[in-house]
Chains A and B, each alone.
Chain A
Amino acid sequence: MSDRTANRIARILAMIPYTVEHEVATIDDLMERFGYAHRNDVVKDLQLVFLTGLPGYGPGELIDVDIFDDEVTIDSADYFSRPMRLTPAEALGLLAAASTFLASRQAPPALASAIDKLSAAVGADATDAVLFDIEAPEAVSDLREAIDSNRLVKIGYVGIASNERTERVVEGESVFFNLGNWYFSGFCRRAGADRLFRVDRIDEVAVLDELYEPSVADASSIVRYEPTPEDHVVTFTVGPASRWVSEYYPGDAEPLASGETRFTMRVSDPMVAARLLLRLGSDAHFEEGETVAAALDDLRYRIATRYA
């Protein structure tokens, strides 16, 4: 049976209690509230309900749906008058989404009380057992404000690959959380291109007075590495304690008989791989990759100089 059938039934079983509770609902309200694309779809679903009910299936047993002008009333459906319980996935999904959004400093005030009520309704006992630890840095509220008011924002940013600080004026597009980090995306006027900034590497935020024309494209929240032919390739082996590297970074992992893992990773900047190898220390053994080896030498030399 198709998902479409299931979705349609789910929507009908949500629409009935709402209409019963409110005594009268308008077609427009039902359409908007339950996400119907056309008025006619609402009417079709209501006409279906009219043909169902309890055994006997005579006038006394069928659900009574009355559509008069724009107004809908439903009677003789007491058994459908309470909304269906949420599935565990629905309950967790909604609670997690709401708690995350609350932590993002972008939420309307009513969300906090909504979470309390929802927690109680799905069983407070269960929600004691749920922890969402996603605190947004303070800068997020300023960045959000700049995006909402279409005002340019000036940020101080320490690049991930370069570790160098630059100041940039950005036309903000979105602020979001992904893979454990908060990100800010937008059109960077200094680079003349779209850029993604990690919020914990922004050390200054100033919302400017100047406005910009927001881009119409949908902002994506997915932080994904896209390989290109210009990538630098490096191969190294890691011991069991550092096997997480092959899960965390994109690349090819090959388990070796020794218990080690051989890992081939691609990076756009050799310094990123060099820094990783340096951090892994004696648990990683470099095998191949000239540009990364050169970057690693350079990095070692520079740091050693500071400790000399």
Chain B
Amino acid sequence: MQRVIERILNLLAFLLTVGRPVTADEIRNTVAGYEQETDEAFRRTFERDKDLLRSLGVPLTMSAIDIWEVEDGYVIPPDEYAIDDPGLTEEERSALLIAAQAVQFAGQSTGLSAIFKLGGASPVLNAPNVAADLGHDLDVLGLLFDSVSSRRVLAFDYSGTSRRATPYAIAHRLGHWYLAAPEVGDPETVKAFRVDRMTNPTLVGEPSAFSRPDGFDPADVIPSGDRETENASLAIVEFDNEVAQIAANQVPDAEVVSRTDSTTTLRIPVRAEQSFIGWVLGFDDKAVIIEPQGLRDRLIAHLSVVA
């Protein structure tokens, strides 16, 4: 392993300083560690080294070595290689370390490589153990974020159809990850795609292939359950006191209409009728829709369905 690491550090140092695209042949003849005897052995070693550098986030690209554009060479632009110093304080780095350790993605932590790149941080005593799981594989989310930030078209399968989209934003809301993106050919309609229903996501084409409209706000596109009160009608629901407090907790904009020793009546905005009825039914016989009559009738209809 030691020789591998030396060779890769040498390769990286060379490409960061040479200032022009260089061919594989030149690398083989110049960089220490590529003394393989056969062409085939060199090719295999060099391919593995390139993959490793790219997996670390090194922007290793190809570009023409002369104006005739006959042959391509390898380049690592130093400004794309390095991050602009974010100027984090020691305290801020520690805070990021705690967060990285406390939040997981589908049972995996984000890993410490990002923290290391930012200068590392000393471990903190008494940090809380796992505080959250954001429930999705970070490799896929990273690819989607790449598509959003580099503005490359994303191809994927969704509901049995192959699609191409220009992603504007990635969002986590109500326990789900979403991608806000119009499909290619219909830029006016920004859709919210559930990431867990997306398969085979792949970046296609060049960076900067599209631009996001000014003032675009992902919050307008991503479903928000019943939380928004815009366009909401109002319902009056009577709860047994046993469950009234948690009902109010779950709907922060509920208002108390009246209270008795045994019941509390709340006025609640209803945005999506079906999910509202499902929510009220979740309280079993401890909640009753009083008004409006139409909503009350629709709940009662659920009771008479022939099983």
Chain A positions within 8 Å of B, measured between CB atoms, are 1-2, 4-15, 17-18, 21, 32-35, 48-49, 51-55, 57, 63, 79-80, 82-94, 96-98, 100-102, 104, 106-108, 110-111, 113-114, 117-118, 120-123, 125-126, 128-134, 137, 144, 147-148, 156, 158, 163-165, 174-181, 200-204, 218-222, 247, 275, 277-279, 281-282, 285-286, 293, 296, 299-300, 302-307
Interface membership of B69, Cβ < 8 A: no
Closest beta carbon of chain A to B47's beta carbon, Å: 10
Majority secondary structure, A binding face: helix
Least CB separation from B90: chain A residue: A110
Interface membership of B60, Cβ < 8 A: no
Known contacts A79-B13, A91-B145, A156-B245; A174/B170 CB under 8 A: no
Known contacts A18-B120, A83-B117; A293/B307 CB under 8 A: yes
Known contacts A55-B32, A89-B138; A275/B132 CB under 8 A: no
Interface membership of B257, Cβ < 8 A: no
Interface membership of B129, Cβ < 8 A: yes
Contact A90 B117 (CB under 8 A): yes
Interface membership of B1, Cβ < 8 A: yes
Least CB separation from A201: chain B residue: B246
Interface membership of B14, Cβ < 8 A: yes
Which 3 pairs show the lowest CB-CB distances between chains A and B? A180-B175, A89-B142, A126-B149
Contact B128 A174 (CB under 8 A): yes
Residues 71 to 115 of chain B near chain A (Cβ within 8 Å): 78, 80-89, 91-96, 98-100, 102-105, 107, 110-115
Least CB separation from B105: chain A residue: A93
Which of B83, B110, B120, B132 has the largest number of chain A CB atoms within 10 A? B132
Contact A203 B116 (CB under 8 A): no
In the complex, which of the residues B139, B148, B168, B296 contacts A89, with contact meaning CB atoms closer than 8 Å? Answer: B139
In the complex, which of the residues A5, A84, A87 contacts B81, with contact meaning CB atoms closer than 8 Å? Answer: A84
Least CB separation from B168: chain A residue: A129
Chain B residue numbers with a CB within 8 Å of A110 are 89, 91-92, 94-95
Interface membership of B143, Cβ < 8 A: yes
Known contacts A84-B58, A88-B149, A163-B243; A114/B88 CB under 8 A: yes
Interface membership of B288, Cβ < 8 A: yes
A100–B84 CA distance with the chains assembled, in angstroms: 24
Closest beta carbon of chain A to B96's beta carbon, Å: 5
Chain A residue numbers with a CB within 8 Å of B131 are 100-101, 104, 106, 174-177, 221
Known contacts A32-B122, A180-B175; A104/B132 CB under 8 A: yes
Instruction: Give the total of B residues in contact with A, Cβ under 8 Å.
Output: 123
Contact B6 A51 (CB under 8 A): yes
Contact A131 B8 (CB under 8 A): no
A132–B99 CA distance with the chains assembled, in angstroms: 14
Contact A88 B146 (CB under 8 A): yes
A201–B2 CA distance with the chains assembled, in angstroms: 55
Digitize B44-85: 1 where CB-to-A-CB distance is under 8 Å, 0 elsewhere.
000011011001111100000000000000000010111111
Interface membership of B219, Cβ < 8 A: yes
Interface membership of B163, Cβ < 8 A: no
Least CB separation from B250: chain A residue: A200
Contact B222 A8 (CB under 8 A): no
Chain A residue numbers with a CB within 8 Å of B12 are 13, 80
Contact A86 B302 (CB under 8 A): no
Known: A84-B82, A114-B95. 10 other contacts (CB 8 A): A18-B120, A55-B14, A83-B83, A92-B142, A97-B132, A101-B99, A108-B91, A129-B169, A286-B307, A293-B307
Closest beta carbon of chain B to A4's beta carbon, Å: 7
